[in-house]
């Protein structure tokens, strides 16, 4: 599933093309994706000007005066800007047609999702959608640091990797980036969250920020079907130090990397470098 850098890459790719543009029409080729598409999407979006494209956790919000379209890419979804005349292909479920500039031909924002695990929902003005309630801070915000992690982890017996992936603790740190951050910080993913010191949490928070920031600049991580808005795959995958490298040599010490299931997710770490 696309993680935070993939979603942020998509947001940054779309924003210059849609912000300030007026929506001409919304075409829904099916009534649902993961969940039914609310009637407000097709009823209230046409005629509205897109004020901003924001990201919260792994969700994208397209803000207008009437409300916000709330999108999630699921496991295989993609959003692309295309000429309005581009033929529709299989799994092109939603088109948001934008008015052209100076009377020119418009373009469409097309949502393609073969597995239909993504969603297109609605957030009314002044409200927070239930899916966005109870979420932790953004990992790249000032609210996320070692002191915060230390305070949130006291008394927690769950493995620190599970703790780091808890969306109520911090949003958007999925399996790949949790594994990479723990490796950089030298912390075993199996260590109880409540047993990690304040100093080590400071190193972990710094690692999360550095790795996510770098992954965004590199276009995210290629995950099977993931493509950025321009159709190009992410490039961070080739630089992973831990994720997907079970049994391979540790890039630091050369010893074989260990692999196990932690919280039902495959976890790779170095038993020597990570304690």
More confident residue, 78 or 27: 27
Residues of the chain with pLDDT > 90, as a percent, come to 78
The closest alpha carbon to 57, from 112, 6, 12, 96, belongs to 6
Residues 6+ apart with CB under 8 A from 193: 153, 156, 157, 158, 159, 160, 162, 163, 164
265 assigned to active site: yes
Q: What angle do CA 35, 36, 40 make, to 5 degrees?
A: 125
2 assigned to active site: yes
Q: For position 104, what pLDDT does the model report?
A: 55
Query: Residue 13: which pLDDT band, with cuts at 50, 70 and 90?
Result: confident
- CB contact at 8 A, 221 and 236: yes
Average pLDDT over residues 123-151: 97
Catalytic residue among 22, 34, 49, 265: 265
Residues 6+ apart with CB under 8 A from 235: 218, 219, 222
pTM score, two decimals? 0.87
83 assigned to active site: no
40 assigned to active site: no
Q: For position 94, what pLDDT does the model report?
A: 98
Catalytic residue among 11, 58, 80, 110: 58
- What is the residue-averaged pLDDT of the chain? 91
- What pLDDT, in 10s, does the model give residues 26-55? 999 999 999 999 999 999 999 999 999 999
Whether pLDDT at 256 is above 70: yes
Q: For position 236, what pLDDT does the model report?
A: 53
């Amino acid at each position: 599933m696309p993680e935070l850098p993939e979603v942020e890459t998509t947001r940054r790719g779309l924003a210059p093309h849609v912000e300030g543009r007026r929506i001409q029409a919304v075409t829904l080729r099916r009534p649902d994706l993961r969940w039914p598409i609310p009637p407000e999407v097709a009823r209230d979006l046409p005629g509205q000007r897109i004020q901003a494209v924001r990201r919260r956790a792994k969700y994208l919000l397209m803000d207008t005066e009437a409300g916000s379209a709330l999108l999630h890419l699921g496991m295989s979804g993609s959003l692309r800007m295309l000429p309005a005349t581009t033929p529709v292909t299989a799994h092109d479920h939603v088109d948001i047609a934008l008015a052209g500039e100076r009377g020119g031909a418009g373009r469409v924002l097309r949502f393609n999702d073969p597995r239909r695990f993504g969603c297109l929902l609605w957030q009314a003005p002044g409200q927070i959608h239930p899916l966005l309630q109870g979420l932790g801070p953004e990992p790249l915000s000032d609210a996320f640091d070692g002191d915060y992690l230390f305070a949130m982890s006291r008394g927690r017996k769950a493995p620190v990797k599970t703790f780091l992936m808890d969306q109520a603790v911090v949003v958007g740190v999925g399996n790949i980036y949790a594994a990479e951050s723990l490796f950089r910080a030298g912390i075993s993913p199996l260590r109880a969250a409540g047993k990690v010191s304040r100093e080590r949490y400071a190193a972990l928070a710094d690692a999360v920020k550095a790795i996510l920031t770098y992954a965004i600049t590199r276009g995210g991580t290629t995950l099977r079907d993931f493509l950025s808005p321009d159709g190009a795959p992410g490039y961070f995958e080739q630089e992973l130090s831990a994720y997907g490298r079970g049994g391979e040599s540790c890039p630091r010490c050369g010893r074989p990397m260990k692999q196990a299931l932690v919280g039902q997710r495959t976890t790779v770490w170095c038993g020597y470098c990570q304690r």
